[in-house]
Chain A
């Protein structure tokens, strides 16, 4: 079936640097995308979302880019901090309203 996947399972980043987490999706009908952050022992925390009629959206220190042509989504975190260490998931949904998640990227911030 359709699936959402992340390019890399782990990412190590120096504190203060920018992080880029990538995600590829295969369902061309997907029209809504969400990035979540999950810390150990907690549920996924909403970070930012984007609909398919946009190609970029910015939040506080985060930017999501959507390239529908190649079905690619990325999350950019500016000035990565130790508190950003977590597992990041992209999720997509189409008109069936169920979220399909990628496998997740574990981000480790080096001091």
Chain B
């Protein structure tokens, strides 16, 4: 069974631009969560989706948004990119909320 797939793996963007990252969960998994990982802040929760609804959101500005589609695939969007948004963005999926979560390889975003 394929794992969590994130695309693209690497991305370089310029300040002020916007970016969309994609996540395909493990087949059958309905809950998708997003995390930001940086050397200084560690792994920080961004948001969680279940049945196309955002059920929980971390402490990030409104520039960070996401959505989930009917097939459970999810995207996250960051608008007006800042240098500090450079990070590894990780997606995790689980069968249902509160169950064991499996991570993808992440998208490495560099803002220049």
Contact = CB atoms under 8 A, between A and B. Distances in A.
Interface in B88-112: 90, 92, 97-98, 100-106
Interface residues of A, number: 22
Contacts of B42: 101-104
B110 to A, nearest CB: 14
Interface size class of B (residues with CB under 8 A): 20 to 34
A95 B104 CA distance: 23
Nearest to B106: A43
Interface string B67-95: 00000000000000000000000101000
B56 A98 contact: yes
Contacts, number: 52
Given A45-B103, A49-B100, A97 B56 contact: yes
A78 B30 CA distance: 34
Task: List the 8 shortest-distance A-B pairs measured between CB atoms, nearest first.
Answer: A43-B103, A101-B43, A97-B97, A98-B45, A44-B103, A43-B105, A97-B98, A43-B106
Interface of B: 4, 6, 31, 33, 35, 42-43, 45, 48, 55-56, 58, 90, 92, 97-98, 100-106
